Amino acid sequence: MYRRNHVSLIKKAARLLIPALLLAALLSCAEKKPEETVKETVKETLVTETAAAKSSSRETETTEAEPETTEEETLPQSEEELSDVMITLDPNWEFASCSVIHSGEARLQRAKENRKNIIIGVNAGHGTEGGASVYTQCHPDGSPKVTGGTTAAGAVTAMAVSTGMTFYDGTPERDVTLREARILRDLLLAAGYDVLMIRDSEDVQLDNVARTVICSNIADCHIAIHWNGDGLDYDPGCFCSTVPESLRGMYPVSGIWQEDDRLSGALIEGLRSVGAPILDSGLRSLDLTQTSYSTIPSVDVELGNGASDHSDEALRLRAEGLLAGINLFFGQ
Ligand SMILES: [Zn+2]
């Protein structure tokens, strides 16, 4: 009898405990604390290669009594040091456990000359097969979304990667965002920036959380490229996201939102400077995965809508505007 009671007690406890454990596991992505050592390792490793090259070259220069002031600009770099590096999502990175699609790779490309040692995360929006049928938390702490969009305000989860809109001529948004990202990449590399291409093919198996976490751990900023599905029959112009007031206290947004907004302002200024059309002030308060999970300056840029001209010339103009904005942001 005692034994039976004991067993039934254990069963009762298990019935209570198992759902609690499952809930804890579900929310675990929100509870994972920053692992600074892990976080810094990748950036350090990437920097170390060049730092090592720099330091050995510096030694040579010192013995030859050359001035040290010009070494940064003139260092020769081997092909190997500058070859592309494929980056996968490290499960130990903060918020990595919130991602559901992460078997893909991003591509880090280094400028061949005049390197600034600044890495720009370029995220061609959409382009993840299966991304619209699985969901991720809108916020790392599980709280509901505060503005509308593809996912309505109040929702706790959003599509891991939505399909994106279709231009009125039938072109899918994902194709145009990729073309734009590649044009921007080429301009950035030529200007001496290193580029983390989150998607450099038709499809990448990285959801919006994974894209954001990879950028946070590798890049110095994250620019997600989109065209808006607003249904208007004319192009209203470009705009960038800013962080909604009610999100400014939420970790990790709390530590970076001013820089998110500064980056948005700089990009709009850059786009305006090349004559790209801008919607009103060019800034819209938006609650998006790429800012909610980001520990680096991160913005969404909407370069038009379904009615927009997406010829090579139109895309190049926007890329030049974005480059001008990036230069402004980094004081280059
Ligand atoms: Zn989009």
- Spans of all domains in the chain: 84-330
Q: Give 111: exposed, middle or buried? Use CB within 10 Å, 0-12, 13-18, 19+.
A: buried
User: How many angstroms separate the alpha carbon of residue 40 from the centre of ligand 1?
Assistant: 30
User: What is the reported pTM?
Assistant: 0.81
The torsion angles phi and psi of 237, rounded to 5 degrees, stand at 105, 180
Element housing 199 (H / E): none
Report the DSSP beta bridge partners of residue 86.
107
DSSP letter for each residue of 271-325: HHHTT--EEEEEEEE---HHHHT-SS-EEEEEEEETTS--SHHHHHHHHHHHHHH
Residue 188 Cα, ligand 1 centroid: separation in angstroms?
Answer: 22
Give the pLDDT confidence score for residue 46 in this predicted structure: 61
**Distance from the alpha carbon of residue 294 to the mean position of ligand 1, in angstroms:** 18
Query: How far does the centroid of ligand 1 lie from the alpha carbon of residue 79, in Å?
Result: 36
**Ligand 1 center–CA 163 separation, angstroms:** 8
| Residue 96 pLDDT exceeds 90 | yes
pLDDT reported for residue 17? 52
The CA 152 to ligand 1 mean position distance, Å, reads 15
Q: Which CATH superfamily is domain 84-330 in?
A: Zn-dependent exopeptidases (3.40.630.40)
CA of 86 to the centre of ligand 1 (A): 24
Q: What pLDDT band is residue 293 in, cutting at 50, 70 and 90?
A: very high
Q: How far is the CA of 149 from the centre of ligand 1 (A)?
A: 10
> Residue 226 phi/psi, 5° resolution?
-145, 165
In which band, very low, low, confident or very high, does the pLDDT at 76 lie, cut at 50, 70 and 90? Answer: low
Å from CA of 227 to ligand 1 middle: 5
What pLDDT is attached to residue 151? 87
CB 295 within 8 A of CB 252: yes
What distance in angstroms lies between residue 22's CA and the mean position of ligand 1's atoms? 33
Give the Å distance between the CA of 45 and the centre of ligand 1. Answer: 33
Distance of CA 173 from the midpoint of ligand 1 (Å): 7
Q: Is residue 7 predicted with pLDDT exceeding 70?
A: no
Cα(263)–Cα(286) distance, rounded to whole angstroms? 14
Query: Which tokens belong to 268?
Result: 């709009």
Reading the block at residue 318, the tokens are 């926007």
**Per-residue pLDDT tens digits for 83-92:** 899 999 999 9
Gap from CA of 84 to ligand 1 centroid (Å): 27
**Which tens digits make up the pLDDT trace of 46-73?**
644 433 433 333 343 444 444 444 444 4
Give residue 300 CA to ligand 1 midpoint distance, Å: 9
